[in-house]
Amino acid sequence: MNQTNLSTPARRIVAEFPLSAGQTRCWILDRADPGTAVLNVAVRWQLDGPLQGIDLQAAFEAVIRRHEILRTAYADVDGTPVQRVYDTAPFHMGTVDLRALDEA
């Protein structure tokens, strides 16, 4: 039986395109070693001053709404990879409160 997570709204595909040469290379690397971190890019930011987590969450959601590449996923259609652009992309910013730890 197919169950749907009621807390996640249904996403609609708004476009489907063939992969570019670079995207095809990434797809092949992932197929050869699923879940590999070789294609990950590490980013570190330092934010100074007061910040509300909800404001940062909203900022990321606004960027995702504006940039379709952040709402795009690869799919295998009859053995051929394609990119699917969705109308939405769920985003949750995890937080870890370190204030109770020693500064060291």
What would the pLDDT profile of 58-99 be if each residue is shown by its tens digit?
999 999 999 999 999 999 999 899 999 999 999 998 888 888
* 37 band by pLDDT with thresholds 50, 70 and 90: confident
Q: What is the pLDDT of residue 2?
A: 39
Statement: residue 44 has pLDDT above 90: no
Ranges 2-6, 49-53, 76-80, 98-102: which has the least confidence: 2-6
Phi-psi group of 87: left, alpha or beta (phi > 0 → left; psi -120 to 50 → alpha; rest → beta): alpha
Q: How many CA atoms lie within 13 A of 11 on its CB side?
A: 16
Q: How many other β-carbons are positioned within 10 Å of the β-carbon of residue 72?
A: 17
pTM for the structure as a whole:
0.72
The CA distance from 16 to 97, in Å, is 40
Q: What is the pLDDT of residue 47?
A: 83
Q: Which long-range contacts (CB under 8 A, 24 or more apart) does 42-45 make?
A: none
